[in-house]
Amino acid sequence: MKQRWARFAWTVVALLAWCGEVAGQQPLPPGISDEGSNVHYSFANLLGTGIYSLDDRTLAVFRIPISWTFREATREKFGIKLLVPTAIGFTDFDPLNNLIPTDDQFATLSVVPGIEFEYLVGKHWRVKPSVNLGFGTDLSSSEWSVIYGGGVSALRPLKASYPEMHVGTAVVLSGYESNKSEGDFLTRWAAGLDAKFPTQWKVADRNVFFGGHVIGYYYMNRVEFQTIIDEPIKLRAELEFGIFMGARPAPKIFGITIDRLGIGYRFSEVSDAVIFFAGFPF
Question: In a structure prediction context, what are the per-residue pLDDT tens digits for the chain, which is 282 residues long?
Answer: 444 444 434 333 333 333 333 333 233 222 223 334 456 777 777 777 766 655 555 667 788 888 888 999 999 899 999 999 898 888 776 666 666 766 667 788 899 999 999 999 988 999 999 999 999 998 877 888 999 999 999 999 998 788 999 999 999 998 898 888 778 888 899 999 999 999 989 888 899 999 999 999 998 876 665 444 455 556 688 899 999 999 988 887 766 778 888 888 888 776 677 777 888 889
- Report the length, in residues, of the chain: 282
**Main-chain phi, psi angles of 221, to 5 degrees:** -115, 125
The torsion angle over the Cα atoms of residues 96, 102, 104 and 109, rounded to 10 degrees, is 70
What residues make up the domain containing 214? Answer: 2-277
Strands 252-253 and 256-257: antiparallel
Decide if 29 is inside a domain.
yes
Residue 202 domain-assigned (yes or no): yes
Rg (CA), the chain: 20
Cα–Cα dist 98/94, whole Å: 6
Q: What's the CATH number where 88 sits? A: 2.40.128
Which one, of 209, 191, 200, lies nearest residue 250 by Cα? 209
Residue 69 maps to a domain: yes
Q: Between vectors from CA 258 to CA 253 and to CA 260, what angle results, nearest 5°?
A: 145
Nearest to 240 by CA among 207, 205, 275: 275
Residue 233: its pLDDT value, please?
56
Beta pairing partners, 262: 244, 277
Tell me the torsion sign for CA atoms 249, 250, 252, 255. negative
pTM: 0.73
- The count of structural domains within the chain is 1
pLDDT at residue number 99: 64
Our CA angle for 17, 22, 24, nearest 5°, is 95
Structural domain contains residue 259: yes
Is the separation of the CB atoms in 119 and 154 below 8 Å?
A: no
What amino acid is encoded at 275 in this protein? Answer: I
* The dihedral sign for the CA sequence 16, 151, 32, 145: negative
As a whole number of angstroms, the distance between CA 114 and CA 137 comes to: 18
Look at residue 282 and tell me if it is in a domain.
no
Closest Cα partner for 207 from 197, 194, 195, 218? 197
Residue 158 CA: distances (Å) to CA of 77, 166, 168: 24, 6, 10
Whether 76 is covered by a domain: the verdict is yes
* Residues in contact with 109: Cβ distance below 8 Å, sequence separation at least 6, in sequence order: 86, 87, 88, 89, 136, 137, 139
Kindly give, in sequence order, each residue whose CB lies less than 8 Å from that of residue 201, ignoring residues fewer than 6 positions away: 207, 208
Give, for 44, the enclosing helix (H) or strand (E): helix 44-47
